[in-house]
Amino acid sequence: MCDEKAIAIYSRKSRFTGKGESIENQIELCRQYITAHEGAAAAASALLYEDEGFSGGNLDRPHFKKMMADAAAGRLSAIIVYRLDRISRNIGDFAALIQRLNDLNISFVSMKEQFDTSSPMGRAMMYIASVFSQLERETIAERIRDNMHELSKTGRWLGGTTPTGYASEQVQRVSVDGKVRKACKLKTIPEEVEVVRTIFSKFLETNSLTRTDAFLLQSGCTTKNGKAFSRFAIRGILSNPVYMVADEDAYRYLTENAVDLFSEEAEFDGKHGVIAYNRTLQKAGKANKTRPMSEWIVSVGKHEGLILGAQWVRAQALLAQNRSKSYRKPRSHVALLSGLLLCGSCGDYMRPKLSSRVDAHGVQIYTYLCSTKERSRCDCCNSKNANGNALDRAVLAALAKLPEDRSELMRQLKRGEKNLAKGEKSSTQDPEAMRAQLADAEQAIETLVSSLTKAAGTAAEDYILRQIQQLHEQRQQLLRRMQQLPAGTQALELAYDTLYELLHSFQKTLEAMTVEQQRAAIRACVQKVVWDGKEAHVYLSGAFDDAATVSGGSKGSAEPLCAHSK
């Protein structure tokens, strides 16, 4: 164990029993273990993480998460528990935890089982646990796949979000044993079917996702939820085999790509559609990924197919051909307001578009343009572009000058007071505690912003930027909760004071900051910026209700910062 880092004692508490394995005795025994191996000083400085009333069936516990966050931040050298089940009763979770700690070079000690990963026997135990965990995962995966094989024979819809063009309906039948069996199948929605056919038709005609996207915007075609189609949604429809008619071309394409096909060639009748099981790889907290076709389990479904097999296959070939030049979100290394700047006409985000020229300051010239305007080719929005270099400089200059006149800053911030939420205070809300948490978060942000210049070019810079973002999110949540308090004015006063201090720190370090540091600092104190074609309206964090809508040309309650379009 490393002497420079703290040792963690973790306990999971249900209730006090006074028996040998009570929470107090567990902690004391762990301290004795540390004293014996690392000395009294290490035992006295050990960090205690205690979860009360949480099951050992999973790792979703607040203090356990905090301990792992501290471990990832490099603050811990070892984690000690009295018994293994204090950490987890799930072997899969436990094996993953041991692997994570091993990656972080953190020892794990269980006193009861004499499980210490810093020793050869402890590492051997870890490998044994991993073997059983792997066996558990593979057994479950095998059962799932066997179940999918059986389900694929029925061609049924298994549930979830129904694809555009279809709705799920329940059907029932009487089995040979006299029992009523229920299942779901897809039925067509005529108006949505036309949208799907339009998407395929336009894409096959233009061989372009961008042009298809522009056509749908101009035509007013929307998703099931009434929103405009994104390129991602369009691609998802074009690549979904559920629309493909089960005909000869479909059968040939599926067999050539070695899918696990559970329908005979005779069942490809040119009428029904195709159902593909096991097509996506789903992981919690991550975007779904499409598996290789060789892993698909496919059968002819009970629903009506919409797109002829030859047309669907051609669409896949065009998607693969265009993948190298498909739309990618532009990344600018110089623009400061990406993700904050909104179009005042339509409310969509404005993104930076770089040119090959540089301005008098040697900075690459860029323009902010509305995403909807660009995608619809000026048909759905015709707002003026903003001179990106001038707008960014104006926002920076205005933020740096705000703290010079404290009374004026406070006056402008308080003009947002009328937008405070009218909600009642929950009995669990403690204004004093919330004020203390907000003050701590603001102090931490100010300290991190000030230290950015010293960390430029070092490994610590990225870590500091991430910490600022996390603290900013915590601060935003606190502000929203404080705005719901009956004594909202008092809570807002504190928000204004802390925002003033943050802006003051921003002013002192602005000139020495890199572009990335300036971008992080702006996000710490600005909620959004609205461009109305002539002026930019900057909304400082905490001064306005998150639910306020952005209307075309509206000046809101903030004083505008001007940067005329060219």
Band of the pLDDT at 446, cuts 50, 70, 90?
low
Q: How confident is the model at residue 554 (pLDDT cuts 50, 70, 90)?
A: very low
CATH number, position 279? 3.90.1750
Q: What is the pLDDT of residues 519-540, one digit of tens each?
A: 877 777 788 889 988 888 888 7
**337 φ/ψ angles, rounded to the nearest 5 degrees:** -105, 10
Q: Do 248 and 131 share a structural domain?
A: no
Same domain as 220, residue 102: no
Exposed / middle / buried, residue 182 (Cβ in 10 Å: 0-12, 13-18, 19+): exposed
Whole-model pTM: value is 0.49
**Would 229 be classed as within a structural domain?**
yes
For 94-107, how does the pLDDT look when each residue is reduced to its tens digit (9 = 90+)? 778 888 888 898 98
- Mean pLDDT over 304-323 rounds to 91
Query: E strands, 258-315, where?
Result: 260-261, 272-277, 280-281, 289-290, 297-304
221 and 125 together in one domain: no
Q: Give the mean model confidence (pLDDT) for residues 217-230.
A: 86
* Residue burial 114-136, b: 16+ Cβ < 10 Å; e: rest: ebbbeeeebeebbeebbeebeee
Query: Domain check: are 439 and 548 in the same one?
Result: yes
- Examine residue 11 and state whether it is found in any structural domain, yes or no: yes
- What stretches of 39-163 show up as alpha helix (H) in DSSP? 40-44, 62-72, 91-103, 120-152
Task: Look up the CATH number of the domain holding residue 75.
Answer: 3.40.50.1390
263 touches 299 (CB < 8 A):
yes
Residue 145 located in a structural domain: no
pLDDT category of residue 449 using cuts at 50, 70 and 90 = low
- Is the same domain home to 314 and 351? no
**425: confidence class by pLDDT, cuts 50, 70, 90:** very low
549 and 466 fall within a common domain: yes
- Whether the CB-CB separation of 274 and 244 falls below 8 Å is answered with yes
Is 146 part of a structural domain of the chain?
A: no
Same domain, 303 and 428: no
Is 363 contained in some domain?
Answer: yes
State which of 89, 106, 135 marks the end of a domain. Answer: 135
Q: Check pLDDT > 70 for residue 164.
A: yes
Once rounded to an integer, what is the mean pLDDT over residues 284-304? Answer: 80
Question: Regarding predicted confidence, which is higher, 399 or 468?
Answer: 399
Sheet holding 526-531, edge to edge: 341-343, 526-531, 535-540, 560-562
pLDDT of residue 7: 93
238 touches 203 (CB < 8 A): yes
User: Is the pLDDT at 20 greater than 50, yes or no?
Assistant: no
Q: Residue 107 domain-assigned?
A: yes
Query: Does one domain contain both 258 and 396?
Result: no
Number of domains in the chain: 3
Q: Which two tokens stand for residue 67?
A: 């301990």
> Domain limits at 250?
196-325
Same domain, 362 and 424: yes
Tell me, yes or no, whether 318 and 401 share the same domain: no
Q: Which of 88, 82, 9 is nearest to 55 (CA)?
A: 88
On whether residue 459 sits in a domain, the answer given is yes
Helices (H) and strands (E) in the chain, counts: 17, 19
User: For residue 220, is it within any domain?
Assistant: yes
The tens digit of pLDDT for each residue in 117-129 reads: 776 777 677 667 6
